[in-house]
Amino acid sequence: MMRHRENSKQFVNLCLKAIAIAALCLGSLLGQALAQGGGQLRFCLRSEPKTFDPLKVEDDASGAIRYLTGGVLVRVNRQTQELEPGLAMSWKVSKDGRQISFRLRTGISFSDGTPFSAEDVAYTIQQLMDPALHSPTGDAFRSGAGNVETKVISPSQISIRFPASVAGLDRLFDQVAILSEHSPKKEMAVLGPFMVADYKPGSSVLLKRNPKYWKTDEQGRRLPYLDSIELDIQPNRDVEMLRLKRGELDVINSLDSEYFDKLAVTSPQLVHDAGPSLDSEQLWFNEVARSPIPDYKKNWFRSANFRRAISEAINRDDLSRIVFHGHAQPALGPFSPANKFWFNSRLKPQSYSPDAALKNLQDEGFRMENGALKDKDGNAVVFSIITNSGNKSRERMAVLIQDDLQKIGIHVNVVTLDFPSLIERMTQTFDYEAILLGLTNVDLDPNGEMNVWLSSSENHQWNPQQKAPETAWEGEIDRLMRAQASSSDAKNRKEAFDRVQEILVEQQPFIFLINKHSLSAVSTNVHGAAPVILSPQTFWNAEWLSVSGK
Amino acid sequence: MRFWRKLACVALVLVIGASLAADWLAPAGYAKQYRDAINAAPSCAHWLGTDEVGRDRFARVLYGTRISLLLAPAAALVSTLMAALIGGLAGYLGGVWARMAMALTDLFMSLPWLFLLITARALMPLNVSPLVSVLVTFLLLGLLGWTAAARVLCTTAGSLRTSDFVRQARAAGLPGQRLFWVHVVPNLKPVLYAQFWISIPVFILSEANLGILGLGVAEPMPSWGSLLKELEGLVSVGEEPWKFVPLILLVVVVTSFQVLLSRQEEVAA
What is the CATH classification number for the domain harbouring A139?
A: 3.90.76.10
On whether both A446 and A343 belong to a single domain, the answer is yes
A-chain residues within 8 Å CB-CB of B38?
A: 322
Cβ atoms of B142 and B78 within 8 Å: the answer is: yes
Confidence of residue B41 (pLDDT cuts 50, 70, 90): very high
Q: Does A547 score more than 60 pLDDT? A: yes
Q: Given an 8 Å threshold on Cβ–Cβ distance, is A383 in contact with B127? A: yes
pLDDT computed for residue A96 by the predictor: 86
When CB atoms are compared, the residue of A318, A421, A432 closest to B121 is: A421
Between chains, do A389 and B211 touch, taking CB under 8 Å as contact? yes
CATH number, position A401: 3.10.105.10
The reported pLDDT for the residue numbered B214 is: 61
**Residue A25: per-residue pLDDT:** 47
Chain A residue whose CA is closest to B219: A414
Tell me the pLDDT band of A404, cut-offs 50, 70 and 90: very high
Give A286's contacts (C-beta < 8 A, 6+ positions apart): A293, A298, A301, A430, A432, A433, A434, A435, A462
- A62 within some domain: no
Nearest CA in chain A to B37: A322
Contact B130 A413 (CB under 8 A): yes
What is the H or E stretch that residue A417 is in? strand A411-417
The pLDDT tens digits for A318-374 are 999 999 999 999 999 999 999 999 999 999 999 999 999 999 999 999 999 999 999
Chain B residues bordering chain A (beta-carbon distance below 8 Å): 31, 33, 35, 38, 52-54, 118, 121-122, 126-130, 211-214, 218-220, 233, 235-236
The answer to whether residues A290 and A163 belong to one domain is: no
The whole-angstrom distance between residue A87's C-alpha and the CA centroid of its chain comes to 23
CB-nearest partner of A396 from B53, B121, B122: B53
* CB pair distance less than 8 Å for A417 and B214: yes
CA distance B165 to A149: 94
Nearest-Cα distance to chain B for A298, in Å, is 15
A165 CA: distance to closest CA in chain B (Å): 45
Average pLDDT over residues A130-153: 88
Nearest CB neighbour to A262, from listed B126, B214, B236? B236
pLDDT at B187 over 80: yes
| A271, β-bridge pairs | A521
Encode pLDDT of A16-71 as tens digits: 555 555 554 444 444 444 445 689 999 999 999 999 999 999 889 999 999 999 99
pLDDT score of A394 more than 60: yes
A283 and A135 in a common domain: no
In A407-528, where does DSSP find H-type helix?
419-424, 450-453, 472-485, 490-507
Give the lowest-confidence range in A179-193, A220-234, A277-291, B115-129: B115-129
The yes-or-no verdict on residue B139 having pLDDT over 80 is yes
Which residues of chain B have a CB within 8 Å of the CB of A318?
Answer: 35
Residue A123 inside a domain? The answer is: yes
Which tops the pLDDT comparison, B210 or A480? Answer: A480
Question: Of A161, A190, A219, which residue constitutes the final position of a domain?
Answer: A190
Q: Would you say how long chain A is, in residues?
A: 550
**Chain A residues closer than 8 Å to B211 by CB:** 389, 416
Residue A431 resides in a domain: yes
Domain of residue A76: give its range: 71-190
Task: Examine the domain organization and report whether A182 and A282 are in the same domain.
Answer: no
Q: Is residue A20 part of a domain?
A: no
Q: Would residue A403 count as lying in a domain?
A: yes
| Mean pLDDT, chain A, integer | 90
B111, pLDDT greater than 90: no
Provide the pLDDT for residue A4.
52
| b/e sequence A233-268, b meaning 16+ C-beta within 10 Å | bbeebeebbebbbeeebbbbbbbbbbbbbbbbeeee
Looking at the partner chain, which of B121, B126, B220 has a beta carbon nearest the beta carbon of A399?
B220
Residues of B whose CB is below 8 A from A389: 211-214
Same domain? A495 vs A354: yes
Confidence of residue B238 (pLDDT cuts 50, 70, 90): low
B263 pLDDT band, cuts 50/70/90, is low
Share of chain A above pLDDT 70, in %: 93
Q: What is the ipTM of this complex?
A: 0.80
Q: Is the pLDDT of residue A293 over 70?
A: yes
Whole-number pLDDT of residue A2: 44
Q: Is residue A153 part of a domain?
A: yes
Name the residue in chain B with its Cα closest to that of A262. B236
Confidence of residue A97 (pLDDT cuts 50, 70, 90): confident
> What's the CA gap between B215 and B124, in Å, rounded?
9
H helices, E strands: number in chain A: 16, 21
A414 vs B contacts (CB less than 8 Å)? 218-220
Q: In this predicted model, which residue has the larger pLDDT, A507 or A8? A: A507
Provide the number of CB pairs (under 8 Å) joining chain A to chain B: 70
**Chain B: closest CA distance from residue A239 (Å):** 11
Q: What is the pLDDT of residue A31?
A: 47
> What does residue B252 show for φ and ψ, rounded to 5 degrees?
-60, -45
Min Cα distance A252 → chain B (Å) is: 18
Question: In the prediction, which pLDDT does B212 show?
Answer: 59
Strands (E) across B39-78 are located at none
pLDDT at position B226: 83
| Cβ separation B219–A386 shorter than 8 A | no
Q: Give chain B positions within 8 Å (CB) of A390.
A: 212
Cα of B28 to nearest chain A Cα, Å: 14
| Structural domain includes residue A214 | no
Whether A188 has a pLDDT exceeding 70, the answer reads yes
Give a yes or no: residue A323 inside a domain: yes
Q: Count the domains in chain A.
A: 2
Cross-chain CB nearest to B211 (options A238, A262, A416): A416
Question: Is the same domain home to A428 and A329?
Answer: yes
Q: Give CA–CA dist B41/B37, Å, rounded.
A: 9
- Hey, are the CB atoms on B212 and A398 less than 8 Å from each other? no
Question: CA-to-CA distance for B16 and B10, rounded, in angstroms?
Answer: 10
Distances (CA, A) of A417 to A186, A226, A282, A394, A433: 43, 44, 17, 12, 14
